[in-house]
Structure 1
Amino acid sequence: MRVVPVPLRLCAVLVLVPSCAWAGPDGGESGRPPAAPVGVTAAAGSATSVHVMWNAVPSAEGVDRYEVYRGPTKIEDVPGSQHMVDVTRLKPSTPYVFTVRARDTQGRLGPPSREVRATTPAVAVADRSAPTRPGDLTGRAAGSRAVQLSWSASTDDRDVVSYDIHQGGSKIHSVGGDQTAAVVTGLRPGTHYSFTVRARDAADNLSPAGATIRLTTPGSDDGRATAPADFRATTRLGGDGAYYLDLAWVPPATDGVVTEYRVHLDGTAATSLVFGGTPPRGRATYSFYLGREAGESHRVRIRARLPDGTWGGLSEERTVTTGAPAAP
């Protein structure tokens, strides 16, 4: 894992990209193609399908669509408002490589994402038995833009490969067969939603839907549900005689991967950071230079860019003083 600090004047792109420009609205770059999608994942949904997800790409001109590639071949066009797709008609027991590119409303095509790999499982001969329906579906609103769902596992005469999550009559998400929980983001405040879950096996047999759960997101968002948790901030004196700010936090729960954060110092956005490779699911840490003066106090908070492209809530604010003993 590598963490790359990205000053706000610089292009907030993926690691090891040297070009720079003035940032446009919401972090996009005016007059430039959209950045490569980050947080790309791929997981087999059955012996003949793979579920591909990615984080929404901020763009000054807006993203018109995403192009999904299997190896060098474009196989799907996905509307810019979505950031997941089921790639179907694949071969069982076969490894696949996927990348995603964003195209903005001006027609400019951004660079490809990093490659992600998935292998479809073998299909059982003459498997016509569907898994049992998932049970005990429960959920709660997690702020005004997300819900948390959980259910009891289905059984199958062979194996459950994935669970499909439906919002109303539309499939909106998929998780692996070993998971019985999900966080659905990108919802609207003050809105009624209904969710169901279905289990799928390697032969693409789909279970009946479990019980429907109805949830309502609150009309206002205090940001706590999408804010980094257990945020800590301390200062230390480095070997070069300068003071550094050490941060630690737990990433917010989302239905995708959080790769980007913004640090606010004394009420102002001070720096952004992008995790290259595999971002941490557990506790994350980051350090940056403060200066050489002792006795300087600073207020610091942090927020995450969510997979739907919006900024989550700000963490609790911490106050630190260079040269002062760390708080117990």
Structure 2
Amino acid sequence: MRRVLLCGWVLALSCGCAAGGGDEGRAPGAPTGVTARAGSATSVHVMWNAVPADPPVGAYEVYRGATKVGEVPGSAHMLDVVRLAPSTAHVFTVRARDGDGRLGPPSREVRATTPAAGPADTSAPTRPDTVTGRAAGSRAVQLSWSASSDDREVVSYDVYQGGTRIHSVGGGQTATVVTGLRPGTRYSFTVRARDAADNLSSAGAAVRVTTPPGGDAGRDTAPGDLRVTTHRAPDGAYYLDLSWMAPRVDGVVTEYGIQLDGAAATSLAWGGTPPHGRATYSFYAGREKGATHRVRLRARLPDGSWGAYSAERTVTTGADG
């Protein structure tokens, strides 16, 4: 596997080689999709994507500057950093540690500024109502709820699975897709609203969803509106030009796998901050005019699993001029 950085993408070219033992004993890679958002005047919520590793990641360490401020098990991908100074800019990184104790490199830095401490606020937001949920494939659930109100501002919504908080989304968001679930399993979710003073609402009514059996990742996890055209370079080679919308899942999608004519062609890892909205990518398709290709792609979800494939598109080199 050869990796090349091109215009913000890290391109991994599939060579068809058998996997060897060269990665044995290697530390996990750097976490991607790291985000940080102030949850109150004294706290910041940090989230990141799961790091695929062998042996599996045993824990994640969160740093503020050079200081380690928290650690969570490898099954968790979020941490509330508390007891911070108000009106202060903070810089965070995350590192993965495998089960053998090897510590991987730090993620890219993310920044969050805590707001100023306001007057004493002891009033919690109203609870989220009309919470609904549906299975989005065998490993994902789509949740939505009505907005809460607060005497100042709702800054986030916390999603609980049973009694465990598993996600947090911004106060302007009233829907999310929870991934990393098990097929054929019954789940119970609740949602609570949080204000800038860390006051939590009571939980909305529990919504129970059973994921179907099987390995269907669910169309909600697939990239949307895939478009494929071709162009001819000055040297006579043809390229396939792809554009698509990232799946609307909880977290940041930083990696995609492209399938060409039914076989894996390339794996694309975003080298910086992924674009908001439509993403684009072009790759070499040969020199033959009139060659017809079938193209589709899928995203690596924040929980480390692969989502569903997009709709397949067919394109012919030279058809676009």
Q: Same fold (TM over 0.5)?
A: yes
Among 8, 12, 21, the residue aligned to 1:6: 12
Mean alpha-carbon deviation: is it higher for 107-116 or for 291-300? 291-300
Whole-angstrom distance in 1 between the partners of 2:213 and 2:105: 38
In the alignment, does 2:78 pair up with 1:84?
yes
In the alignment, does 2:46 pair up with 1:52?
yes
Whole-angstrom distance in 2 between the partners of 1:129 and 1:260: 41
Among 214, 219, 227, the residue aligned to 1:232: 227
Distance 1:221 1:209, change over 3 A: same
> What is residue 242 of structure 1 aligned with on the other side?
237
Q: For 1:50-83, what per-residue CA distance to the aligned partner results, in whole angstroms no more than 9, with x for missing partners? A: 1111111111321111111011011112111111
Q: For 1:130-178, what per-residue CA distance to the aligned partner results, in whole angstroms no more than 9, with x for missing partners? A: 1111122122221111112222221212111211111111111111222
Whole-angstrom distance in 2 between the partners of 1:225 and 1:201: 29
> What is residue 197 of structure 2 aligned with on the other side?
203
In the alignment, does 2:315 pair up with 1:309?
no
Per-residue deviation at 1:257?
A: 0.5
Whole-angstrom distance in 2 between the partners of 1:138 and 1:303: 26
Whole-angstrom distance in 2 between the partners of 1:66 and 1:177: 26
Letter in 1 for 2:204: G
Letter in 2 for 1:49: S
Per-residue deviation at 1:104?
A: 1.4
CA contact (8 A) 1:23 1:29 kept: no
CA contact (8 A) 2:33 2:254 kept: yes
Q: Percent identity?
A: 71
Distance 1:190 1:24, change over 3 A: farther
Among 153, 156, 169, the residue aligned to 1:159: 153
In the alignment, does 2:125 pair up with 1:131?
yes
Among 175, 184, 189, the residue aligned to 2:183: 189
Distance 1:30 1:296, change over 3 A: farther
* Mapping 1:208-219, distance limit 5 Å: 208-219=202-213
Letter in 2 for 1:138: T
Whole-angstrom distance in 2 between the partners of 1:211 and 1:50: 27
Among 274, 279, 293, the residue aligned to 2:269: 274
CA contact (8 A) 2:231 2:320 kept: no
Whole-angstrom distance in 2 between the partners of 1:55 and 1:73: 21
SS at match of 2:220: helix
Among 279, 287, 292, the residue aligned to 1:297: 292
CA contact (8 A) 2:48 2:251 kept: yes
Q: For 1:251-296, what per-residue CA distance to the aligned partner results, in whole angstroms no more than 9, with x for missing partners? A: 1121110000111112221111111222134221110011112232
Scaled by the length of structure 2, what TM-score is found? Answer: 0.91
Aligned length: 314
Q: For 1:200-224, what per-residue CA distance to the aligned partner results, in whole angstroms no more than 9, with x for missing partners? A: 1122111111121111111124332
Distance 1:8 1:101, change over 3 A: farther
CA contact (8 A) 2:231 2:238 kept: yes
Per-residue deviation at 1:6?
A: 2.3
Among 20, 34, 57, the residue aligned to 2:28: 34
CA contact (8 A) 1:137 1:151 kept: yes
Unaligned runs of 5+ in 1: 11-20
CA contact (8 A) 1:247 1:285 kept: yes
* Mapping 1:244-263, distance limit 5 Å: 244-263=239-258
Letter in 2 for 1:92: P
Letter in 2 for 1:58: P
Scaled by the length of structure 1, what TM-score is found? Answer: 0.89
Distance 1:56 1:23, change over 3 A: farther
Whole-angstrom distance in 1 between the partners of 2:272 and 2:141: 27
* Mapping 1:94-113, distance limit 5 Å: 94-113=88-107
> What is residue 285 of structure 1 aligned with on the other side?
280
Per-residue deviation at 1:247?
A: 1.1
Letter in 1 for 2:264: A
Unaligned runs of 5+ in 2: 1-6
CA contact (8 A) 2:139 2:216 kept: no
> What is residue 43 of structure 1 aligned with on the other side?
37
Distance 1:9 1:63, change over 3 A: farther
Letter in 1 for 2:250: D
Q: For 1:80-101, what per-residue CA distance to the aligned partner results, in whole angstroms no more than 9, with x for missing partners? A: 1111111122222222111001
Whole-angstrom distance in 1 between the partners of 2:193 and 2:297: 37
Whole-angstrom distance in 1 between the partners of 2:20 and 2:76: 22
> What is residue 93 of structure 1 aligned with on the other side?
87
Mean alpha-carbon deviation: is it higher for 284-293 or for 175-184? 175-184
